[in-house]
Structure 1
């Protein structure tokens, strides 16, 4: 069974990725703190979701990152 993470997790991961990009562009205490906070939110949400659906946490995390970073093209 393929793991289909909800949009909420995808959006959290994208926010974390954006915060990481901010660190790359301007590595300040503030950008690092924001990235750590976003990353922590993703990790917590992934753990909860993995427990709810009974799938390994690392597989759920991989599915979330894949969908967030490489979205499938829209079907026309």
Structure 2
């Protein structure tokens, strides 16, 4: 999977949504905001939305521990 330089606000949106998913309280508004952010990022980067979304999820949900 390609490496992307996601903007901090998109990382934070996904992080917040992931925490909400884990807590069982994700809202439609949160999900919509993440989807819109991913779609805009993918269009600007010239990649598929799916590829960008999977890379973002991996970056947030499976981040390598900082040393």
| TM-score category (smaller protein) | 0.7 to 0.9
- Normalising by structure 2, we get a TM-score of 0.81
Cα-Cα RMSD: 1.6
Structure ID, larger Rg = 1
**Which one is further off, 12-21 or 2-11?**
2-11
Partner of 1:26: none
For residue 52 of structure 1, what is the aligned residue in structure 2? 44
Q: 1:67 aligned to 2:31?
A: no
Structure 1 residue ranges without an equivalent (≥5): 24-30
Aligned equivalent of 1:13 = 14
Between structures 1 and 2, the one with greater helix share? 1
TM-score by length of 1: 0.73
Structure 1 residue 16: Cα displacement = 0.7
Uncovered stretches (5+) of structure 2, i.e. residues with no partner: none
Q: Which runs of 4+ in 1 moved over 2 A?
A: 1-4
Q: CA deviation at 1:17?
A: 1.2
User: 2:47 is paired with a residue of what secondary structure?
Assistant: coil
